[in-house]
Amino acid sequence: MSERVKYILDEEKIPKYWYNIESDLKEHTPEALDPETLKPAEISKLEMIFAKGCVEQEISRERYIEIPEPVREAYRLWRPSPLYRAVHLEKALDTPAKIYFKYEGVSPSGSHKTNSAIAQVFENKRCGIKKVATETGAGQWGTALAQACKMFGLESRVYMVRCSYEQKPYRRAMIELFGGTVIASPSTMTKAGLAILEKDPYCRGSLGIAISEAVEDVIRYNEDTRYCLGSVLNHVLLHQSIIGQEAMAQMEMAGDYPDIVIGACGGGSNFAGIAFPFLGEMLRGGRKVDLLGAEPAACPTLTAGKYAYDYGDVAKMTPLMKMYTLGSSFIPPAVHAGGLRYHGMAPQISNVMRQGLMRARTVEQLDVFKSAITFARSEGIIPAPESSHAIAAAIDEALECKKRGEKKTILFNLSGHGHVDMSAYIEYFAGNLANYDYSKEEVAMALSCLPIKD
């Protein structure tokens, strides 16, 4: 009989709680600091930037936080997402390994980002906020936030990194379709944007710059506007825990358990989403798992960054976070995986990495596309360039199993589809893409400006 390919959970199995890794970590993640006083950030100041409910989730150490019913109701549009056994990819690679992937591309925006967008917009609505501002790299987060705002009746303003704004016009159109306003960043609308453009009128932008612009927007219109972030923060990682919780139930349906769990790492939220529920199980005495984060060679935060307190943005407006960082002023090369071009890494992932509970590796841009095409041609799903970092790592692990004759079970998160990234595939097939090396001098320069010296 053929191998089973899809593991589908009933709608009733959408998790009722988000899982918080902080509850199971022996060494807690260092708290955020106020950039002016360098003391722990005060809740009242955090609530000027973020919705009250998001701040409560951010500092919580409870293991389980109840998912509000309107959020679960919205999740029903596409959750539970399917788990697939990649039987065709296994055959193509001729590997003894079993490969499973959790597919988050079925959400309205086409990626995992909607899991947190819905949750954040709901918390904003709950405390009477009317508008939210945000950044977006490749446009996945911006699309998710605009769609969530449309569902809950809020306005959205999205600062989109300029190189992605130009590379991905259809993402822009999607944000606008959902009623959001899109602004190419750096822009002339904010002091932070103007300062960057004065130095470099052709600046290609970065997530760090777009965050500065969105936060400035929120401070200016503070009465009814708050900021939403697509990754990095504890509450965003918390929201994504539904991915791993569902995957655990689906692996049980398959009668299997992963030896290796893989995710692409930009700010860290989809990796944490798939990995932390398994890590929590291991920390509570359950089965051991090997967690692997895959990041771009052009922006190697976990593998070449420094573990230090740093700003989350270029204009130094956000609270300081203890994380692996390449320096907040570092502008990564314009790889097509725009969602992975972030100088820092989620503090909780950085803490987990620091404690030796996970490993990380880099992937070159050309390997990303080669792996994406191998995957698409065997499994029939065209992946986002960001997610393809996880595919590349999964393929390498499966080939390593082949070399060693090992029958490991590999699970990776396919965080989004690449239907709106076809221009990148066109460029790849035309031979116009290259591997980018990041500038070590620029990183050293950015790291020399860390706010707290060793």
Ligand X SMILES: Cc1ncc(COP(=O)(O)O)c(C=O)c1O
> Nearest distance from residue 199's CB to ligand X, in Å?
26
Alpha-carbon span 230 to 228, nearest angstrom:
7
Q: Phi/psi zone of residue 380: left (φ > 0), alpha (ψ -120 to 50 degrees), beta? A: left
Closest CA to 130 of 258, 6, 218, 233: 218
> Nearest distance from residue 94's CB to ligand X, in Å?
28
Nearer to ligand X, 357 or 368 (CB): 368
Alpha-carbon span 368 to 294, nearest angstrom:
10
Alpha-carbon span 368 to 178, nearest angstrom:
30
Nearer to ligand X, 95 or 231 (CB): 231
Nearer to ligand X, 267 or 280 (CB): 267
> Nearest distance from residue 386's CB to ligand X, in Å?
3
Please provide the size of the chain in residues. Answer: 454
> Which residue's entry shows tokens 């990194």?
161
> Nearest distance from residue 135's CB to ligand X, in Å?
10
> Nearest distance from residue 153's CB to ligand X, in Å?
25
Cis upstream peptide for 258 (omega within 30°)? no
Q: At what angle do helices 169-177 and 140-152 cross, to 10 degrees?
A: 10
> Nearest distance from residue 251's CB to ligand X, in Å?
20
> Nearest distance from residue 214's CB to ligand X, in Å?
15
What is the biggest distance separating any 2 CA atoms in the chain, rounded to whole angstroms? 65
Nearer to ligand X, 349 or 401 (CB): 349
Q: Catalog residues that contact ligand X under the rule CB under 6 A.
A: 111, 137-138, 140-141, 231, 264-271, 339-340, 384, 386-387, 415-416
Instruction: Say if CB 395 and CB 371 are below 8 A apart.
Output: yes
Chain residue at closest Cβ approach to ligand X: 339
Residue 446: alpha-carbon gap to chain centroid: 23
Alpha-carbon span 252 to 412, nearest angstrom:
16
Nearer to ligand X, 116 or 250 (CB): 116
Helices (H) and strands (E) counted in the chain, each on its own, are: 18, 15
Nearer to ligand X, 138 or 184 (CB): 138
Nearer to ligand X, 270 or 318 (CB): 270
